[in-house]
Amino acid sequence: MTANPALPSFPFPADHPLGVAADLRRIRDHGAPVRVRLPFGRPAWLVTRYDDVRRVLTAPEFGRDAHRAGVAPHEIPGVTPRDPAADSLLSLDPPDHSRLRRLVSRVFTPRRVEDLRPRAQALADRLVDRLLADGPPADLVEHFALPLPVGVVCDLLGVPAADRELFRGHTETLLSTDPGDPEAAARARTALDDYLAGLVARRAHTPTDDLIGALVRLRDSGDRLSDPELVSLVRTLLIAGHETTANLIPDFLVLLLAGDGYCELVADPERVPSAVEELLRLTPLITMGSFPRFALKDVEIGGVRVRAGEAVIVELSAANRDPGAFAFPETLDLLREENPHLAFGFGVHRCVGAALARVELQVALRTLVRRLPRLALAKHPDDLVWRDSVVRGPRELPVTW
């Protein structure tokens, strides 16, 4: 399909990587969805108001399954040549999505997640011990923000920590928005799936108590879980379990250290849980707003008719700063009480790893404010280099203390 040059190009540039573009605010304040063109695929409707976003995320008239909506893979709108979530739990609709989600919830329980907290805390303290031993300055991405969630998700899934660089490289390629090699993502997906299939095969011969082992037992107990579905579930949990948190930690610190937020947490670490929710609300993590939804029949959103087969992008960062939903939405309020943010999505596709992300983010902030109370950026925020990725985050975060 030939792109329509008359449509505005999305994503819109912002004054700051962690800000919301003026064009997004203007569209949201105007109210009605607008048509935009993305770097790849067909045009899409952009939905920005909080109430409209929630409706798209919950209405049965919208689905994530492109094939069901009659949309070919190359027509899916996005910032990458191929939808990074294709052929995964994130791209399915009920009843297949419901079946797999139920299976995951049977093994990825709140108890299992909470049991990871002390191990996450021990790892966070070891990482800070190394920072203190080596002395400042240090790159907080490489030496804290990345190894913390990677270590936790490896522990959860039973992935050998020695393989961190292997799956980290595949993940970066899969989520990259660099158009240099359009086939690189497909090769990375294949390589990652082959690696994970090997882990699954080993669990079949040598049972384990980790999450992969639990999923293998479900498969072998006749729970209608195929091998491709099992590998896809593990891939989704592996990527979501470290990639988002590894970027949210430095994103949070950029926002906190830009003002008095970090000092407030040093003075009162009990604010950390509410601070995490507020920072989740304010952080525009996904560069394209969300993965696309597709209208399964004609439906009206915000006074605009979306026709069957058309794609919709919901812009979570704009919705999370909607003055119709949040008082003083541009203000970082670490004690905000009413905070129904959409950082983890909403409805049936709400992030399955939300509880794990909260544990990791709370442990990370509590540890830093307790152990490094004088933490400061060693480089001006304007000089940070940001990743070319679906997930927004700085490549490095030089700090001192």
* 158-179 pLDDT tens trace: 888 788 778 788 888 888 877 6
Tokens representing residue 105 in the block: 């919830």
Does the residue 10 lie in any domain?
Answer: no
CATH code: domain of residue 199 = 1.10.630.10
Q: Which domain range does residue 85 map to? A: 22-400
Each residue's pLDDT tens digit, 210-253: 999 999 988 877 767 888 889 988 988 888 888 899 999 999 99
Q: Look at residue 1 in the predicted model and tell me its pLDDT.
A: 40
CB 71 within 8 A of CB 310: no
Number of folded domains that form the chain: 1
Q: Tell me whether residue 245 is in a domain.
A: yes
Whether residue 15 is contained in a domain is answered as: no
Q: Distance between CA 282 and CA 16 in Å, rounded?
A: 13
Q: Decide if 7 is inside a domain.
A: no
In a domain, 174, yes or no: yes
Residue 139 pairs with which residues in a beta bridge? 398
State residue 8's pLDDT score.
Answer: 94
In a domain, 285, yes or no: yes
The pTM of the full predicted model, rounded to 2 decimals, is 0.93
Q: Is residue 11 part of a domain?
A: no
Element (H, E) at 303: none
Confirm whether 344 is domain-assigned: yes
The tokens for 256 are 């906190």
Per-residue pLDDT at 3 exceeds 70: no
Ordered DSSP codes for 240-284: HHHHHHHHHHHHHHHHHHTTTHHHHHHH-GGGHHHHHHHHHHH--
